[in-house]
Amino acid sequence: MNGTIKSIRDIIHNLNSASLDPKTEVVIAPPTLYLLLAREHLRKGLEVASQNVFDKPNGAFTGEISVDQLKDSGITWTILGHSERRVILQEDDGFVAQKTKAALEGGLGVILCCGESLEQREKEETVKVVTTQLKAVAEVVKDWSKIVVAYEPIWAIGTGKVATTEQAQEVHAAIRDWIKKEISSEAADATRILYGGSVNAKNCKELGKQADIDGFLVGGASLKPEFVDIINAQQ
């Protein structure tokens, strides 16, 4: 929940005028109020995501946004299951799964977030928590070709704490192994798994070298010029 018309115009101008790695897919996710502003001004080839979507079609659901409305506005992606929505708004695994199903059936790509709290990590429950969150989706969605998984340790969001490259890679590898066992080998190879936990220009290159880290879900750093450096981390 950041940004003004001016600041978002500035971010988009910076992206539009930057030299970006052509091999890196870029999707930005402004607050709902600024989705159309972003889509109208962002250059072709860069996509826009909503930060949420409802699991029902258009109707009497005050305050929500539908898949159809996003598609009508040229929005091609949505972020679902973000830890802030799971924790603050009490969205459970089943609700996230139903929203994922609705988004995919409506033709959107889904950035599906999963992650554990500090308490869960200290209890060595990380893999169990993350795979339980993914399992809820697997129970209602069989085709994962339009799902990008984002691992975001809750304890590393907005705290300045970052999982070590080894910690991040370990969880990413476990996620890929789970996809291989529960979905398919093809899905495990094709599914992109992003890391999202205080990613910045200083740590992105080292994180990006890990075998199972395919990109980043960028938070606070996406509001700064260094976002371009993160996009180009693999060059």
Active site residue ranges: 82, 152
H or E element that contains 120: helix 118-122
Dist CA 95 CA 93 (whole Å)? 6
Is 21 in contact with 231 (CB distance < 8 Å)? yes
- C-alpha–C-alpha distance, residues 172 and 166, integer Å: 10
Angstrom distance (rounded) from CA 180 to CA 186: 7
SS3 151: strand
Q: Is 149 helix (H, G, I), strand (E, B) or coil?
A: strand
Distances (CA, A) of 171 to 15, 64, 129, 130, 164: 31, 33, 11, 9, 11
**How far apart are alpha carbons 115 and 99 in whole angstroms?**
18
